[in-house]
Homo-oligomer: A and B are copies of this chain.
């Protein structure tokens, strides 16, 4: 019952980036050192984030990563989607998920509430929200 390491790292990286100037260029070496994430793993993750279009990368000397759109428009659940970690409607605690409304186990109704809260949390939190209110991780 936890996000994958990749998702966790990605959220930490991007919310740290959001704390800095939106437009500022940040490179992998600095990020890895600051956030204590293995450099090679960080670049692997960031490459996926770039492919997903959440961030642009500038290659070559003096390059780095930068948001293109404002961080208020980048939603946490978009990040999770990249690593197949976002919460689907049909997703069930028991991994079955096909039980119809009539024939359902007793966990079903109880599971609805936390599931919806988590979906809401991930779908209604932007990076700006996260970064603005918190401390550096």
Q: How far is the CA of A103 from the CA of B136 in the complex (A)?
A: 8
Each complex incorporates copies of this chain amounting to 2
Cα A2 to Cα B80 in complex, Å, equals: 14
Judging by beta carbons under 8 Å apart, are A99 and B137 in contact? yes
Contact A95 B2 (CB under 8 A): yes
**Which residues in chain A, 84-137, are within 8 Å of chain B measured between CB atoms?**
85, 87, 91, 93-96, 99, 103-108, 110-111, 113-115, 117-118, 121, 125, 129-135, 137
Contact between chains at A121 and B129 (CB < 8 Å): no
Query: Does B94 lie within 8 Å of A134, measured CB to CB?
Result: no
A71 part of interface (Cβ distance < 8 Å)? no
Binds B, one of A8-16, A25-33, A38-46, A53-61: A8-16
- Is A52 in contact with chain B by the CB < 8 A criterion? no
B93 touches A2 (CB 8 A): yes
Take A1-B3, A93-B2, A94-B12 as given contacts and tell me if A111 and B121 are in contact as well, using a CB distance cutoff of 8 Å: yes
The interface of chain A, by Cβ under 8 A from chain B, is 1-3, 5, 8, 11-12, 15, 76, 85, 87, 91, 93-96, 99, 103-108, 110-111, 113-115, 117-118, 121, 125, 129-135, 137
